[in-house]
Structure 1
Amino acid sequence: MRVSVIQMNQGSNKAANLDQARCLIEAAVAADRPGLVTLPETWTNLGGGRDSRMTAAEVLPPEGSGEPGGPAYELLRGLARAHGIHVHGGSMIEAGGDKLFNTTVVFDPAGTEIARYRKIHLFDITGPDGTGYRESALYGAGDRLVTFEAGGITFGCSICYDIRFAEEYLALRRLGAEAIFVPSNFTLQTGKDHWEVLLRARAIESQCWILAAASWGQYEERGAARSVYGHSLVADPWGHVVAKVSDGTGWATARIDPAVTARVRRDMPVLQHRDARRVDFDRDARPAAP
């Protein structure tokens, strides 16, 4: 299966973001004929503050209901149907009661929603430049892993900050994942040092393809300019970067080859070695009882 990772420069204007996503997906489909496309994290809104995020949020229809959703949800569904492709919607802002959620939805070529994932690990950190990020102030955390099948390949879902938690990727591998999505808004400060290193490490550890569509460029947050790193990429199960977007908006396309996955896992059977010699590292790392 050919997969295109889409790189956007979205802002706080939701209508403009939807139009940008449509244009980029249609251009990628016309040029590269992928069977699946994937968008960045919160492609419907980046910046503008709390009110902007609340305005961009959509109430998602019940899973499996087939009921209509909001403008972003229906755009993804319509693009899947129009082009006969799977569409992994990066993540969008989901209205969920007291909290918002950072949520992925996936559609098959018939426009049927086949997967939904809420980001588990929330970005509560202080960046190298002293800028604070407190995702949990506005968003709730997801509580379950999600996989789905497309084109005979099992895909796993994750979002951005999840990449720093290797155990999530090993758990997805145990659930059968052969490729894992990482839609992201990586900050420029952390991205330039950590982005590619982390993605390649998760690919090597899990022996999965890593599909990372990212946001690039500047956006405004409560009157201050912030920057995100971009460099969307696809890494194979050996950790090689096989397709990559540089600066600017655009896309990169790679073919997910199950034969490569099978060969890497056969020749270096790390999951079997883990299972054969399993040690409870969490237990052994805990201080002894007094």
Structure 2
Amino acid sequence: MKFLAAAIQMLATPDKELNLREAEAKVREAAARGAKVVALPEVFNWRGDKKEEKKHAEPVSGPTARLMARLAQELSIYLLCGSFLEEIPGGKAYNTSLLLDPKGIPIACYRKIHLFDVDIERGVSTMESETRQPGEDIVVAETEFCPMGLTICYDLRFPELYRALVAKGAQLIFVPSAFTALTGEAHWEPLLRARAIENQVYIVAPDQIGKNPKSFATYGNSMIVDPWGRVLARASDLPAVIFAEVDLSYLAKVRAELPSLTHRKVF
């Protein structure tokens, strides 16, 4: 089985309405060009001052999710709502990724497990845990194409999560991100290709791009990587939609010819 996947690269700003218009336009572009699985980046609907995060958090079935559900249904696509801030009781929010089926029905909800708490010399200092609550559940969605695993950005640095997703059957894993420009230059491509090679899966990684006036600069270079580790599609440093064919028979061939998953020993 084959299908066309698309990853959307955009710059989310503190203007939620503008972001949603941009996201909708790019989703429509992807569908018009034949994509059956479309993925948006992390915090695609709003990205601004962390002091305002709670104000912009929404219920998991709130306005952003409803808009995207209508879009998925109209276009008859699987749509990954990269992530948005989910309203929860207390002073924090979840960073939540929602996968919608072609009827607009949510079939998977993943809450980011690993929070980005770093203080890197040369300018990246942030503590997501000050305003966000970590999730706990590993999520794989069954679709008409293949099982799809959900992760978000900083999760990429934790290979154990990806092993667990593959153990649950994942053949494609989403990595919606707002990867920093500083870390992205050295780490983004090697990590994406490593996760694809180690787990013999397709990786669909839509990233934010550009400098947000209220946050750090993001790297862009959204990618789709195949199970051999080849980069099938890569964006530049501008807003874009990238496309690649996902070939599940090729995935099966890679796993059969180089059966590292079955050779794996657990220590």
TM-score > 0.5 by shorter chain = yes
- State the match for 1:46 in structure 2: 47
Aligned equivalents of 2:98, 2:142: Cα separation in 1: 14
Deviation at 1:92, TM superposition (A): 0.6
Q: How does 1:86-125 map to 2 (within 5 A)?
A: 86-98=78-90, 99-125=92-118
Residue 266 (structure 2) pairs with residue 278 (structure 1):
yes
Structure of higher CA gyration radius: 1
Residue 24 (structure 2) pairs with residue 34 (structure 1):
no
Read off the aligned partner of 1:56 and give its amino acid letter: H
- State the match for 1:172 in structure 2: 165
Q: How does 1:221-260 map to 2 (within 5 A)?
A: 221=214, 226-260=216-250
Deviation at 1:245, TM superposition (A): 1.0
Aligned equivalents of 1:278, 1:153: Cα separation in 2: 26
Deviation at 1:71, TM superposition (A): 1.8
Kept in 1: contact 2:124–2:182 (CA 8 A)? no
Deviation at 1:59, TM superposition (A): 1.2
Deviation at 1:55, TM superposition (A): 2.4
Aligned equivalents of 1:128, 1:235: Cα separation in 2: 30
Alignment match of 1:144 (pick from 134, 137, 140): 137
- The number of equivalent residue pairs is 264
Read off the aligned partner of 1:202 and give its amino acid letter: R
Runs of 4+ in structure 1 off by over 6 angstroms are none
Read off the aligned partner of 1:23 and give its amino acid letter: A
Q: Deviations over 1:219-276 (max 9, x none)?
A: 022xxx63100111100001000011111111101111111111111111111111xx
Structure 1: where are the runs of 5+ without partners? 61-68, 280-290
- State the match for 2:4 in structure 1: 2
Q: CA RMSD in A?
A: 1.1
Relative contact order, higher structure (CA 8 A, sep 6+): 2
**Secondary structure of 1:153's aligned partner:** coil
**Secondary structure of 2:29's aligned partner:** helix
Read off the aligned partner of 2:226 and give its amino acid letter: D
Aligned equivalents of 2:138, 2:228: Cα separation in 1: 23
Read off the aligned partner of 2:106 and give its amino acid letter: E
Aligned equivalents of 1:148, 1:160: Cα separation in 2: 18
- State the match for 1:188 in structure 2: 181
Aligned equivalents of 2:145, 2:195: Cα separation in 1: 22
Alignment match of 2:200 (pick from 186, 200, 207): 207
Read off the aligned partner of 1:55 and give its amino acid letter: K
